[in-house]
Amino acid sequence: MNTQTPIQMDKSAFLAWVQGREERYELVDGRAIMMTGASLNSAGRDGTGYTSTDPVLLIEVLSPSSEALDLGDKAAEYLRLPSLRTYVVVAQNEAKAWVWQREGSTFEPGPQVISASSSRSRFPHRH
């Protein structure tokens, strides 16, 4: 499930609002959205902060309301981060993932799609 705030916020208002909250949120288009993913920062970071300027790995879990954003505008924005090596979007209701990996200085034009039915699947199959 994707929870959004009903009001627009700038970055400083968001950082003040998110302090002390147990859940993790991100600011997207001026709205706070509960995160259902994970990130890994470059070496030397403790991962407890609310912002990251140099993530190397980002993982998103899709919800029905965030699919277009996570696979569209958000992916395009994340792929512009110079530190990012891998961006993974995982489906919530099926064994499927979209994986972007940096090759040298650029990402391939589209993601590798991995699913239970793909020949390169790493997901366990149920029979």
pLDDT digits (tens, 9 = 90+) for 53-91: 788 888 888 877 778 888 888 889 889 999 999 999 999
The CA distance from 111 to 74, in Å, is 13
Q: Are residues 64 and 31 in the same domain?
A: no
Q: Are residues 60 and 121 in the same domain?
A: yes
pLDDT exceeds cutoff 50 at 124: no
Q: Are residues 43 and 105 in the same domain?
A: yes
Between 100 and 38, the higher pLDDT residue: 100
The neighbouring-strand residues paired with 100 are 87
Q: Are residues 26 and 85 in the same domain?
A: no
User: Read out DSSP for 16-62?
Assistant: HHHTT-SS-EEEETTEEEE---EEEEPTT--S-SS--S-EEEEEEE-
Q: Are residues 57 and 81 in the same domain?
A: yes
The CA distance from 29 to 26, in Å, is 10
The CA distance from 98 to 88, in Å, is 6
Question: What domain range is 23 assigned to?
Answer: 1-35
Q: Residues 28-62: pLDDT tens digits? A: 778 887 777 555 555 445 556 656 778 888 888 88
Q: Are residues 55 and 81 in the same domain?
A: yes
Q: Are residues 61 and 117 in the same domain?
A: yes
pTM of the model: 0.63
Q: Are residues 14 and 70 in the same domain?
A: no
Counting the structural domains of the chain, the total is 2
Q: Are residues 74 and 51 in the same domain?
A: yes
Query: Which helix (H) or strand (E) covers residue 77, if one does?
Result: helix 73-79
Q: What is the DSSP letter of 3?
A: -
Q: Are residues 62 and 92 in the same domain?
A: yes
Q: Are residues 25 and 42 in the same domain?
A: no
